[in-house]
Amino acid sequence: MTVGAAPGRGQSSGRRRSRIPTSRSHQIDNAALSDREIVRVAREIIAKVGVDGLTMRQLSTELGVSLGSTYHHVPTKRDLLVLVARDLFDEVTIPSKGKWDERLKSAMVSVSDLVERYPGIATFMSANPVEIMPIKLYRALVQILTDAGFPVDSVNAVMATMFFYVTGTSTGGPSLASSGMLDDVEMKRLFEDGLDLLLAGARVRVEQPRRRTRSGAPRSRQRG
Amino acid sequence: MTVGAAPGRGQSSGRRRSRIPTSRSHQIDNAALSDREIVRVAREIIAKVGVDGLTMRQLSTELGVSLGSTYHHVPTKRDLLVLVARDLFDEVTIPSKGKWDERLKSAMVSVSDLVERYPGIATFMSANPVEIMPIKLYRALVQILTDAGFPVDSVNAVMATMFFYVTGTSTGGPSLASSGMLDDVEMKRLFEDGLDLLLAGARVRVEQPRRRTRSGAPRSRQRG
DNA sequence: ACCTGAACACCGTTCAAGT
DNA sequence: ACCTGAACACCGTTCAAGT
């Protein structure tokens, strides 16, 4: 198996020698098999057949290496998915200006649009929120909320609520769609509607940070 | 009536079971292997080792039958999980009196408490919202909202948002917990806090049903 | 009708052995 | 250091054959 060079995607060339220490700069460069390349191909496969359809064997074949070789770079499939998820999140766009709620909504729509192109990744994300959230994105979102005047506790609540809502929607979307009860347009509307609902709830906290809502539970007092 | 109203599925979906009831007597009786029993044992296993740990083989062993025999009663593992999920939802308790938001919150806490005892089931639920939601529970929740004066559209939005938030939280909970950043108590608080946030957003819609929030997006106008 | 035993077609993961 | 070939230990699912 010396050939490799996946079908379809030209890009032949015998990149392989390239052991040449061009300098002591980056060692990624032309490495036989970079994490970057692995993630790129994995994304392609997931886009086509979903996370469950992604096989370490199929990935290896498409990379032009053996199964064992792939495992030399990525310890487990889970680790691979973490890399993929982070890579995806890096593409989330956040408007640099505008009202906080509009920026937030836009960011969430961006996440949703991105994630729905990779079946099964939303499920993985919602099961691994800590591992997959890139610090950069996380900080950016927190910044928006703190700038808007949210108290720390509320920041976490808003972040968690949005995250789980978005991943949940993306996870359950296919089910709703295939059930025939909702088409794509209605799905999109339901998604944004829920987002608005959520943001409305958040808005209450900045506009009246210390006012109790008339029926709001004062605390968690299950068993005092 | 888009979201809810479970698909017209009277029984067109052809359950292979239910071959005309044997008159007035229960057909469970001494049946070698009832669905009820299968679900019961499956739940036990899931409680111990999670959905992924549940194996059709293990289930068969614990039922005292062969693998093929189990498959004679349950077509696929997925179908089994649907039965399990529905069985779980049947135990959700909804307060019969109280303010709508308190009843709703209580119901969601009930779902959360129930679901977190069965690792992996929340993930399955959020991926199969339509299939697993028992009509009875669905109707009860809708009733609470309509009684509270919610317009139809908002009912769907509130339902979807809550469902995905709850399943998402339950799905991601273990990750947050094992990361060491949140203990059980803090998790519970975060969960309820998010729920309050969500309900606050819902409250806006009944209290001021036709007033536009000051920065609310008027429509979905992405393109076209 | 229900059940069994055995197989099929996969998986993720590991590892001695090569270069 | 990187890669290969082959295996291991599972899975879900199917099915001819029994009773």
pLDDT beyond 60 at A154: yes
pLDDT beyond 70 at B192: yes
Q: Between A and B, how many residue pairs show a Cβ–Cβ distance under 8 A? A: 182
CB contact under 8 A, B217 and A102: yes
- The pLDDT assigned to A179 comes to 84
CB within 8 Å of chain B, chain A residues 22-61: none
Residue A210 pLDDT grade (very low, low, confident, very high; cuts 50, 70, 90): low
Nucleotide nearest to A77 (CA to C1'): C12
Q: B98's torsion region: left (phi>0), alpha (psi -120 to 50) or beta? A: left
Residue B178 pLDDT grade (very low, low, confident, very high; cuts 50, 70, 90): confident
Closest Cα in chain B, distance from residue A165 (Å): 5
pLDDT beyond 90 at A91: yes
CB A63 within 8 A of CB A4: yes
Contacts of B14-17 with CB under 8 Å at 24 or more apart are: B16/B75
Taking the model in full, what pTM does it have? 0.82
Which one-letter DSSP state was computed for residue B152? Answer: H
- Chain B residues inside the 8 Å CB shell of A169: 160, 164
| Mean pLDDT of all residues in B176-182 | 85
- The pLDDT assigned to B112 comes to 96
Q: Is A183 on the interface with B (CB under 8 A)?
A: no
DSSP characters over A60-114:
HHHHTS-HHHHHHH-S-HHHHHHHHHHHHHTT----SSS-HHHHHHHHHHHHHHH
| Mean pLDDT of all residues in A154-160 | 93
